[in-house]
Amino acid sequence: MKKSLLCAAVALACSPAFAADVQLFGFFDQGIAFLNENLAAGMGGPNSAKQQTFGEGQDKIGMAGRKNQVSLGTGNVSTWGIKLTEQINDDFSVGIHLENGYLPDTGELYMSNVLFERESTIALNSKTYGQLKMGRMPAMLTGSGTTGIFNSRVNPFGAGWGNMTGGWKFVGTLASARHDNMFNYRSPSFNGVTFHVQHSFGNTDENVEGAEEGSSKVNRYSALGVTVEGDRYFLAAGVDYLKMGSKKATVTNDSIKAIVGGHYDFGSFKGYATVQYMDNIQYIGGYSTKEFAPKFGSETTKGFDAWAVSLGADTKVGGGTAKFSVGYAQAENQNLDDNKDLVRMNVGVGYIYPLSKRTSIYGIGGYFWEDADYNEDKIYASEVIVGLMHRF
């Protein structure tokens, strides 16, 4: 949507002298969700999941109880944003990206009191030297947004639809999905090969003396990655490192994560795969399947040591696209000496039918199962969502 439409939408004062290209963009997704859950205590949505602590004489985490629910739901987070690009010369341009998530059924911001929480960046773009971005943005290994290198290119459901449908994050993790005070460098493409570098200086903590952005008393994030792309294939590999310094950190040991993933177009269908390794990760999964590593009392936590794989495929069926994914993970809770093993699996199926270039209807279903030695019982959940989505 060009600048004249943006002016009408947000009442900006534009003039013929305004040389930049401005776009208002977004994504709206709304449907009906049918959810059945039997989860351990502390599990749930990304804003309500809590780390569980064993009491004296306790060696199992209790159950939260079974829940059945029918409600408005979404396969994907709805977003809106503004993009601005100004061409400086034949080689250089400057870009601004402001993007915010919201809940369409209530109108609430996805993250309370944070505007443009999904991305708030300025970029210097060069055909010769690549791109340098600065601001708040997605971590490289999340796969999300403009700076993630995985997502829907390594799984037909991307980072996951709904609470548990087929995404690779439900057997792995998107811990520390976004960071403030970040820079991201993306090199030019060398015969399809692109290099990526990312670093966050962390957030100042006014409650801790000396805990200023860039100091050793705040958490700092770094990542390296490479992508290889051809006519029929895509491959990405990346490793990230979260240096723990904040006293508020859920995990006190430094976290490391490595992912390799990609897809190949066989013509009749497209196949996807990922492999993940995680060490000292504060939690595994996302949304309803999100689980922090339980610990004893006030002891520090080392989190999970884990590995995970996922496989998927999509193919054209009846004018739409059918999707399938399965994921499997094994983990060890490093806070415990005994009864510390975890196994989890999730399966997702879906079908998307385009009504136009911008509007689609969909139906998705997911099943999640976990057996952890430290939980009182096996946990499981299933979900079905039918909905409508529109991009603008």
Task: Write out the chain in H/E/C secondary structure.
Answer: CCHHHHHHHHCCCCCCCCCCEEEEEEEEEEEEEEEEEEEECCCECCCCCCCCEECCCCCCECEEEEEEEEEEECCCCEEEEEEEEEECCCCEEEEEEEEEEECCCCCCECCCCCCCCCEEEEEEEECCCEEEEEEEEECHHHCCCCCCCCHHHCCCCCCCECCCECCHHHCCCCCCCEEEEEEEEECCCECCEEEEEEEECCCCCCCCCCCCCCCCCCCEEEEEEEEEECCCEEEEEEEEEEECCCCCCCCCCCEEEEEEEEEEECCCCEEEEEEEEEEEECEECCHHHEEECCEECCCCCCCEEEEEEEEEEEEEECCEEEEEEEEEEEEEECCCCCCCEEEEEEEEEEEEEECCCCEEEEEEEEEEEEEECCECCCEEEEEEEEEEEEEC
Cβ atoms 68, 24 nearer than 8 A: no
Would residue 142 count as lying in a domain? yes
Domain assignment present for residue 361? The answer is yes
pLDDT for the residue numbered 13: 37
* 35: in domain: yes
Residue 7 lies in a domain: no
Number of domains in the chain: 1
Structure-token match 């991305």, residue found: 119
pLDDT of residue 135: 97
The domain that contains 380 carries what CATH number? 2.40.160.10
Other C-beta atoms closer than 10 Å to the C-beta of 153 total 18
Residue 1 maps to a domain = no
Q: What pLDDT was estimated at residue 9?
A: 40
Report pLDDT for 244.
87
**What digits encode the pLDDT tens for the residues 3-44?**
443 444 444 434 444 457 999 999 999 999 999 999 999 887
What domain range is 77 assigned to?
24-391
Average pLDDT, the chain: 90
Give a yes or no: residue 226 inside a domain.
yes
**Residue ranges of the chain whose pLDDT lies below 70:** 1-19, 46-47, 299
Question: pLDDT at position 58, please?
Answer: 85
* Residue 207: per-residue pLDDT: 80
Whole-number pLDDT of residue 47: 67
For residue 46, the model assigns a pLDDT of 64
What local confidence, expressed as pLDDT, does residue 19 receive?
Answer: 59
pTM score, whole prediction: 0.90
How much is the pLDDT for 323? Answer: 97
350 assigned to some structural domain? yes
Token reading at 221: 């994030």
Residue 112 is predicted with a pLDDT of 81
338-377: pLDDT as tens digits: 999 999 999 999 999 999 999 999 999 999 999 999 999 9
pLDDT in tens, 95-124: 999 999 998 888 888 888 888 999 999 999
